Amino acid sequence: MIDPTYNSSEGLKMVEHGSCLKMVDQRELGTGIVAYSPLGRGVFAGKSVVETLPSQSLLNMHPRFTGENLEKNKCFYERINDLGSKQACTPSQLALAWLLHQGNDIIPIPGTTKLKNFENNIESLNVKLTEEQLREISDAVPVEEIGGKRDYGSLSQYMWKFSTTPH
């Protein structure tokens, strides 16, 4: 699972995840990698997510969307939005294109409830990026600057790494 925040020394970046450390093993085995929440739980989906969250949104309880963490993380949307403008694409298209350029074994699973957003996400397949542009995008969202934990703290006990599945 890749949280689009990659660091080349750790695994895949634009938005971080500890399980990226397993990526080398997965690639050696030829297995695919599912990029869960490739739009950063909506951060790269659109300006409205970082400006105003609906009161009924579960993100209001997510560590990256509360208090000073939300304020700190808003800049990442702006950075990706600016870089997307240079490529004539939306922030979500740029985030997905960056992820798709990380390898053919990575499968992003962006969720949406709107056809317009689905079509917008599909357009990310047409965004071509150079190695320099990929580095610039990676540098725009440094893992160490992201405010808040990656997941809901109260649910971390249910993560796969705590399962009792046999190896």
Number of domain units in the chain: 1
Q: Give the model's confidence band at 24: pLDDT under 50 very low, under 70 low, under 90 confident, else very high.
A: low
Structural domain includes residue 1 = no
The pLDDT tens digits for 100-152 are 999 888 888 888 888 998 999 999 999 999 999 999 999 988 878 776 676 66
pTM of the predicted protein model: 0.71
Which tops the pLDDT comparison, 110 or 20? 110
- The residue range of the domain holding 87 is 18-162
The Cα 150–Cα 137 span in angstroms is 19
Structural domain includes residue 13 = no
Domain CATH for 55: 3.20.20.100
Do residues 53 and 59 lie in contact, with contact meaning Cβ atoms separated by under 8 Å? Answer: yes
Stretch among 6-10, 24-28, 44-48, 102-106 having the lowest mean pLDDT: 6-10
Structural domain includes residue 136 = yes
pLDDT of residue 53: 67
Structural domain includes residue 57 = yes
The Cα 20–Cα 122 span in angstroms is 24
Beta carbons within 8 Å of 119's beta carbon, 6+ residues apart: none
Structural domain includes residue 47 = yes
Structural domain includes residue 55 = yes
Structural domain includes residue 76 = yes
Structural domain includes residue 59 = yes
pLDDT of residue 165: 55
